[in-house]
Amino acid sequence: MADVFMPQLGETVAEGTVTKWFKGVGDLVTRGEPLFEVSTDKVDTEIPAQADGVLSAILVPEGTTVDVGTRLATIGGAGDDAVAVSSAPTISTSPTAAVPATAPALAAASAGEKLSPVVRRLLAEHGLSSGEVTGTGPGGRITREDVLAAAARTAPAPGAAVIQLSPVVRRLLSATGLQAGDVTGTGPDGRITRRDVELAAQGGAPRTGAVAREGDEVIAFSKIRKLTAEHMVRSKATSAHTLMVREIDFEAVERVRRSHGAAFKDAEGFTLTYLPLISVATVSALGEFPHLNSSVGHDELIVHHAMNLGIAVDLDAEGLVVPVLKGADALDVRAMARAIRDVATRARTKALGVDDMSGGTFTITNPGPYGTLLTGAVINQPQVAILSTDGVTRKPVVVTAADGAEAIAIHSVGLVALTFDHRAVDGAYAARFLARLAQLLQESDWSHRL
């Protein structure tokens, strides 16, 4: 027998959501093949099986969020009986989230091998775990009648809506003395999650939103949408957000795109956009203004000498992820363009790993292709700044010749917006960074940096 646990996917990740089981109870499992998919605030990833055998029990259903270390399933030998649920107590790495197992649950867990096939089938049919049933048979063994009695106690009243509860949620409700009707479900289709029960048990306010009117469409937040929302609210509550904007004359960048764009696309298979050139210039400027490449500690600034650039990638309506380019200061424009395209492609095909999403020190978000004028982005914690690159348009500008003469010319112009944490740096420091970034973009000979 081999137990399957929620893995630790990153140093700061404390929980994960089982979004999909690739195998069902009774299916053969081969070591190394995908067994289930996990979604965290860092990444969605497939977890391979660690042993050969038969999937004999699934303890945590799809859509359930549990702590790292929680027992998810059991892989047994080919001759073992399959069982849909088990009474193993939840393992929690969070002291406030730990729920003690009841005495009947512990007794049933130790006697799990004594469940008859009929009892196992009935438990599965009624969505019960053996820990929710008091055994009256010899030695506390659970009988058919015990399961039916427990099912009758948990059955909804006539005409009442049926509420689907996972074994973890049932145990939490029992341990906290709450009823399902006391908890507002925020999971798929209003399903009650572990976090919902914990919030209700702590006396938290119910999570109710605006009332849907006739003709309205109600779309439940996806996992990544909920995590993004939580991350953004937490960032606003943590950092003293300040916005500073600089106009950039991108004509030097546009000239190299016009003169080298066709050859670049022939060689690389994709278009040379503004983003890799802006990214190279940003990393260079950060080298001169390292306090923007940092985090805030306890009354201290932690300056990161590694230059790990986060690139925000839009997943259409699903949400936003920020894969990280490690050692971005070593990349020239061509290498930067390849790296950005690679992580964006893998983000949209859910092929990013945990390492791709961790360790960022500064982030760039790029809504510019949609023609935005100005974006005040939210800082990607625990970083202290984020740069938004907005739309670039052709417009008249005043240009000065070497002899001081002025003239009107048509150039490509756009805005870059820096949101920074005022705890970390002051406005003058941020302004000098933007001035240096503008100088690099406007005066560099980009044709020699491809």
Instruction: Kindly list the catalytic residues.
Output: 422, 426
Residue 217 backbone dihedrals phi, psi, to 5 degrees? -110, 125
Tokens (6 digits) for 95: 């002291």
State the CB neighbour count (10 A cutoff) for residue 117. 10
Q: Characterize the bridge pairing of strands 385-400 and 362-365.
A: parallel
- Strands in 385-400's sheet, in edge-to-edge order, are 241-249, 406-421, 385-400, 362-365, 309-311, 324-325
For residue 242, list its beta bridge partners: 420
For residue 29, list its beta bridge partners: 53
State the DSSP string of 15-40.
EEEEEEESS-TT-EE-TTSEEEEEE-
167 to 91, 206, 266, 278, 415: CA distances (angstroms): 13, 22, 56, 51, 53
223 to 64, 229, 372, 441: CA distances (angstroms): 10, 10, 27, 38
Instruction: Say how far apart CA 384 and CA 35 lie, in whole Å.
Output: 38
At what angle are helices 251-268 and 427-443 packed, to 10 degrees?
60
Instruction: Say how far apart CA 252 and CA 445 lie, in whole Å.
Output: 8
The answer to whether 297 and 203 have CB atoms below 8 angstroms apart is no
Instruction: Say how far apart CA 445 and CA 147 lie, in whole Å.
Output: 77
Count each helix (H run) and each strand (E run) in the chain, helices first. Answer: 10, 18
Instruction: Say how far apart CA 308 and CA 360 lie, in whole Å.
Output: 5
